[in-house]
């Protein structure tokens, strides 16, 4: 996931990122999420369903994935963050996800949704439409492929 700082000239004056015409939702001021920390946000998606997003600040870059672990719904915003590898470990039972794209870092692992973050001036917005859909894998790869 790329984080791009939007210059004033890039902003369509008809776009208000926090209104219902855009799929982007306002999160917070960028200073509210300090380097090396994460935070949970509740936003409404395109169908007006509430979803929880975990947002991470790694060295000034922002990443967003679903806050709910695929195992039993553990809060990934409270997980242990490996800043070097950009991997979060669920605080409940240790499942791991890349904060870049929500994918498990190992073969056959489950993934969670990931979302694009935009920074406009000093404000953070998240796209309520995932840019990568996390897939639930219920069986090891060997069973799926070799039955
Ligand atoms: S709920 Fe996340 S590892 Fe179990």
Q: Give the distance (Å) from ligand 1 centre to CA of residue 89.
A: 9
125 burial level (CB within 10 Å; 0-12, 13-18, 19+)? buried
For residue 12, what are its two tokens? 């369509």
C-alpha–C-alpha distance, residues 114 and 39, integer Å: 15
- The pTM for the full model equals 0.81
Probe target for ligand 1 pocket from 65, 69, 75, 106, with the most ligand atoms within 8 Å of CB: 69
Instruction: Report all structural domains of the chain as residue ranges with CATH numbers, in order of start.
Output: 16-146 (2.102.10.10)
How far is CA 43 from each of CA 62, 80, 129, rounded to the nearest angstrom? Answer: 17, 23, 11
* pLDDT, tens digit only, all 147 positions of the chain: 444 444 433 444 444 455 456 899 999 999 999 999 999 999 998 889 999 999 999 999 999 999 999 999 999 999 999 999 999 999 999 999 999 999 999 888 999 999 999 999 999 999 999 998 888 765 554 544 443
């Amino acid at each position: 996931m790329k984080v791009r700082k939007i210059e004033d000239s890039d902003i369509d004056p008809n776009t208000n990122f926090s209104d219902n015409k855009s799929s982007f939702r306002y999160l917070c001021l960028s200073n509210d999420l300090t380097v090396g920390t994460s935070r949970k946000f509740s936003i409404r998606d395109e169908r007006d369903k509430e979803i929880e997003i975990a947002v991470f600040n790694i060295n000034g870059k922002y990443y967003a994935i679903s806050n709910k672990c695929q195992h039993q719904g553990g809060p990934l915003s409270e997980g242990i963050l490996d800043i070097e590898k950009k991997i979060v470990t669920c605080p409940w039972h240790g499942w791991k996800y890349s904060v870049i794209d929500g994918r498990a870092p190992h073969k056959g692992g489950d993934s969670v949704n990931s979302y694009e973050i935009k920074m406009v001036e000093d404000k953070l917005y998240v796209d309520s439409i995932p840019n990568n859909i996390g897939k639930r894998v219920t069986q090891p790869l060997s069973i799926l492929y070799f039955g």
